[in-house]
Amino acid sequence: MITLFNREKFYVCNDPQDAARVWGALKAEHIPYEMDTLRSQPALVTGFHARMGMQGMNGNFTPGQYADQVTLTYVIYIRRADRKAAQAAVEAHPNLQ
């Protein structure tokens, strides 16, 4: 079981295929893991979203205009005791997806 007290951040990336490769390797080797997906967007985009209602009413805003500005960050956690096994699993399965 992974708890707040025995976990460590193992892998952080923005590429979903790369994250899938890592958690696939961990799963193949039966190494427990947890993953958080963090959503972030630049402050400039947040300001645009705050003004969306007014711009939409005036006809100046299209819904997809700023949709691609959101970034997802994948954070994979493992137990500290599994660090070496996890590294070996990822190295043993470089092309796994």
Tell me the pLDDT tens digit for each residue of 29-44. 999 999 999 987 665 5
The pLDDT assigned to 90 comes to 93
Q: What confidence score (pLDDT) does residue 71 get?
A: 83
Spatial separation of the C-alpha atoms in residues 75 and 18, rounded to whole Å:
11
Domains defined along the chain, listed by start: 7-56+69-91 (3.30.70)
Residue range 53-90, pLDDT digits in tens: 555 555 555 555 555 567 889 999 999 999 999 999 99
Average pLDDT, stretch 16-33? 94
pLDDT of residue 48: 53
Radius of gyration of the chain from its Cα atoms, rounded to whole angstroms: 19
**Residue closest to 33 by CA, chosen among 67, 68, 80:** 80
Output the pTM of the full model: 0.71
Question: Is the pLDDT confidence value at 21 over 70?
Answer: yes
